[in-house]
């Protein structure tokens, strides 16, 4: 859990993913389209990925990826991020966290 918190706090926007996850790819693309450049941590490429996956599940992220942190805070998984985008609040969250500038 400490590793997740440490990685999540190093950049304004952080996404934990797996390279084979299509929803992870979609969420990353959404962030890039908005103008953010999130830190991406591929759990299937990390030697401690299984431990981090368990920690993400304990935060309530099920499935464990994609798991999105903005401003060091856990925001949610793909359904949460899509909901925030639809209601227009995702971009403002990224602006407030200084992940994008407008």
Q: What is the pLDDT of residues 32-91, one digit of tens each?
A: 999 999 999 999 999 999 999 999 999 888 888 999 999 999 999 999 999 999 999 999
CATH of 1-95, one of 3.40.190.10, 3.40.50.10260, 3.40.30.10, 3.40.50.300: 3.40.30.10
Go through the chain and tell me how many residues it has: 102
Could you report the per-residue pLDDT of 3-35, keeping only the tens digit for each? 899 999 999 999 999 999 999 999 999 999 999
Q: At what angle do helices 89-96 and 22-34 cross, to 10 degrees?
A: 70
3-state DSSP call for residue 72? Answer: coil
First to last CA, the chain: 33
Model-level pTM? 0.94
């Amino acid at each position: 859990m400490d590793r997740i918190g440490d990685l999540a706090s190093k950049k304004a926007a952080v996404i934990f993913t797996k390279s084979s996850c299509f929803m992870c790819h979609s969420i990353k693309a959404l962030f890039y389209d908005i103008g953010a450049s999130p830190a991406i941590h591929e759990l299937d490429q990390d030697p401690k990925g299984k431990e981090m996956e368990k920690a993400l599940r304990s935060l309530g992220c099920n499935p464990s990826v994609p798991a999105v942190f903005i401003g060091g805070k856990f925001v949610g998984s793909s359904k949460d991020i899509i909901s925030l985008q639809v209601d227009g609040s995702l971009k403002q969250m990224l602006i407030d966290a200084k992940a994008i500038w407008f």
